[in-house]
Amino acid sequence: MKRCVSSWVLMGVLLVSGAALAQEEGATYSRGQGWSVLSGQTLGSGTAVTGQVGWPGLSLGLLHGATSRFDIGGKLTFNYGREGLITSVVPGLKLQAWMRLMLLQTSRVNVGLTFAPGPFFYFYERYADVGLTLPIALTVGIPVGSALMLNVGLDIPFYVIFGTGGGVVVPVLLGGGLEYFLDRNLAVNFNVRMGPSVGSYPGLYGRGSARFTLEALLGVAYKF
């Protein structure tokens, strides 16, 4: 009987110790691999190259961890869907700066802002539209262990079309995504955002009208 009680006591001690160790490890690895290109968490240090493909196009990016909370870089995008509008298949080109600021980080969540201003061009048979995009995004990241980072976010990729018949367009997009870390330097990712684009650009929208907008992109990121 004493031997049985001792065995149960020993087992209880081991279980409690194991749970404590698991909590400690969870706290240690709760921030994924310590960097991200999609969530509210920044690179922290080093440089990352990124690529994404899907709708509305293909993008290539370079991002540098300027401080522990701020990243800066740039993106080059080749689009075949006009700013995510699912009814508008038009070739286009965008060149953007890329800035990310981490507002909050705990062991369970991170929050960040992204701003990526730059010019864009969409090419029709007889003319081209020229504009300026000023997108801002608020993203919440949720680390799941050491290999997975989930995110949810609100994107407002505001843009302006210049020239006669131009105007302002305000998309309001909600969605989520994930990053899966294959190792400490390499991650694959998927991001989706959707919602209405409300515009005063009469050539495409009709003033005050809204069109469904979608961004669904699969990508990869490598940190040096």
Q: 148 near 179, Cβ under 8 Å?
A: yes
pLDDT of res. 126: 87
Q: Of 93, 86, 101, 99, which Cα lies nearest the Cα of 171?
A: 86
Q: 131 near 159, Cβ under 8 Å?
A: yes
Q: Count CB neighbours of 21 within 10 A.
A: 10
Q: CA 56, 53, 66: angle at the middle one, nearest 5?
A: 105
H helix and E strand count, the chain:
1, 12
Strands 70-79 vs 47-55: parallel, antiparallel or unpaired: unpaired
pLDDT of res. 203: 56
pLDDT of res. 27: 42
Is the previous residue joined to 143 through a cis bond, with omega within 30 degrees of 0?
no
pLDDT of res. 21: 38
Taking only the tens of pLDDT, the chain with its 224 residues reads 444 434 444 444 333 344 333 443 444 444 568 899 999 999 999 999 999 999 999 999 999 999 999 999 999 999 999 999 998 899 999 999 999 999 999 989 999 999 999 999 999 988 899 999 999 999 999 999 889 999 999 999 999 999 877 889 999 999 999 999 999 999 999 999 999 999 876 655 555 578 899 999 999 999 99
Q: 84 near 55, Cβ under 8 Å?
A: yes
**What backbone torsions phi and psi does residue 37 show, to the nearest 5 degrees?**
-115, -5
Q: 208 near 200, Cβ under 8 Å?
A: yes
Kindly write down the DSSP assignment for every residue of 80-120, as one continuous string. SSGGGBTT----EEEEEEEEEEEEEE-SS-EEEEEE--EEE
Q: How far apart are CA 5 and CA 135, in angstroms?
A: 65
Q: Is 18 helix (H, G, I), strand (E, B) or coil?
A: helix
pLDDT of res. 170: 94
